[in-house]
Structure 1
């Protein structure tokens, strides 16, 4: 399981409503639009998104709000994903949550694990200790996994990296472990940035990693730019991302049918499409500068 944040389930007995959304697109954007302070926890389980409300706070109005938020994301033309609602008895949520989070192996060398679970690693492995908190990007979701696997294939020795919408900071941290000399990650969510900064300290990163809250501004170019963002945000940042890209841009967070429009926008901004990867209905795309000497990676 991949929690977006640990369920804040109280220790006093209480029953819960589990609202499961099948094949929820742009989960992080959905949570922001929903903006419901009574949600007790949110979990990603494969292709499903689970939201938990205390039984006493659940209502048909809240279900309508969930559907309305999905409609805002999907648009009027697309069908809404299936929603399943179950009642859960009171349990020891903290114990169950800890037991469910296990070391995650991605690609050939990347290992992401919680602090309470040891993992067998080799000398050439990249190990990141990450206790899931209220920040997107644990490596479980297909959009993050594709970029992590892609990073492992690149020659990053001496590279500079920009991670736009850094979330937990996992992409920037792995890039550094794979040979990059400097990484900058930023997010417009101060809670995510605080989590990412904690992770950086836990994993003993220093001045080579800069994490902060802000937005993308025209200025410095980076050898590699990473952007795990929803389609609407990528569209709004196309020009800024192109300017920041010195050699290669890797984007994720797109549904397969959104790739064409995004590629057209980056082509107008001076970047051409390289490699493409797909996983679980999501796609990640490589864009290269026209004057970059490297060919596309696949």
Structure 2
């Protein structure tokens, strides 16, 4: 079977949003070529495990590719993708050029394309993200999160994800209970389990994301700790937990902040990521209005993540 690669030239800040709607349109996976990596001073040996060809990358921003089977690909799909990308302006995100190009790839070429750019990365002091086909020996205390790009898990190295994982590492220990709102592929739920959480409820409204999260939880043998459920934010969640984490757009975070005190235990921690710097003040004010104070703040580029407590 052949696959159609649909490449969108977009901005770094729009990466997760564009990847999300490529997957919702039926992409079998996504891949990113980020121009920023060409200037990155890698602080781990993994960044030097493969050579980067400058011609593969745009001058600015990123190429974000979705891979669609020939059975579902048509011109209407391209128009929907362009409309959704341009619509990100309504959420305060710069979608960049939104140039779209396509090419046909064989099954073998698609599979090999994943593996060329996908290597183990030490994301935090204790968490390393690793593709399933790579051999890797962990050091004492290091927890490995196994990923399979064929499941559209992504590399787990986008700033909003790494910032979330760093804050989780500070807040999660043995016995912690966690709710992951808008879990997407489930990487943060798996990370929480690897850090010692005994109860993790992973929630997402998108049924495709729910299935991906379930697959990745199983891949990491975390089924006893993580339960994945289709759900709209915190609606209907009756339990109280130690940590609530959300790596989603600031506009969505603002919608459920008033509901946090019902779910988050007194003294518990809310971790919010996916916040573009221009929206930070709004999120912080909403948390203050709900009775929370920011206790930790991390930033990478234009992305901000915060931890707040009552």
TM-score class, shorter:
0.7 to 0.9
Task: Tell me the TM-score normalized by structure 1.
Answer: 0.78
Q: Quick check: 1:51 aligned with 2:65?
A: yes
TM-align CA RMSD: 3.1
Q: Distance in 2 between matches of 1:197 and 1:63?
A: 28
Q: Which moved more, 1:265-274 or 1:221-230?
A: 265-274
Q: Quick check: 1:117 aligned with 2:134?
A: yes
Contact 1:33 1:69 in 2 (8 A): no
Contact 1:238 1:269 in 2 (8 A): yes
Map of 2:240 onto structure 1: 221
Give 1:121-270 correspondences, 5 Å limit.
121-134=138-151, 138-154=155-171, 156-215=173-232, 216=234, 217-246=236-265, 247-270=268-291
Contact 1:137 1:167 in 2 (8 A): no
Higher helix share: 2
Q: Distance in 2 between matches of 1:28 and 1:136?
A: 14
Contact 1:26 1:230 in 2 (8 A): no
Structure 2, unaligned runs of 5 or more: 35-60
Q: Which moved more, 1:78-87 or 1:105-114?
A: 78-87
Q: Counterpart of 1:237 in 2: which secondary structure?
A: helix
After superposition, the C-alpha distances for 1:189-232 in whole angstroms (9 at most, x for unaligned) are: 22222222222222222432211212323522111111111122
Alpha carbons of 1:223 and 1:118: their partners in 2 closer, same or farther (altered >3 Å)? same
Contact 1:23 1:49 in 2 (8 A): no
Q: Which moved more, 1:70-79 or 1:205-214?
A: 70-79
Q: Counterpart of 2:14 in 1: which secondary structure?
A: coil
Q: Counterpart of 1:211 in 2: which secondary structure?
A: strand
| One of 298, 303, 306 as aligned partner of 1:277 | 298
Aligned length: 275
Q: Distance in 1 between matches of 2:66 and 2:137?
A: 34
Map of 1:4 onto structure 2: none
Tell me how far 1:66 sits from its aligned partner.
4.8
Structure 1, unaligned runs of 5 or more: 1-9, 290-298
Give 1:26-37 correspondences, 5 Å limit.
27-28=16-17, 31-32=20-21, 36=25
Tell me how far 1:29 sits from its aligned partner.
6.3
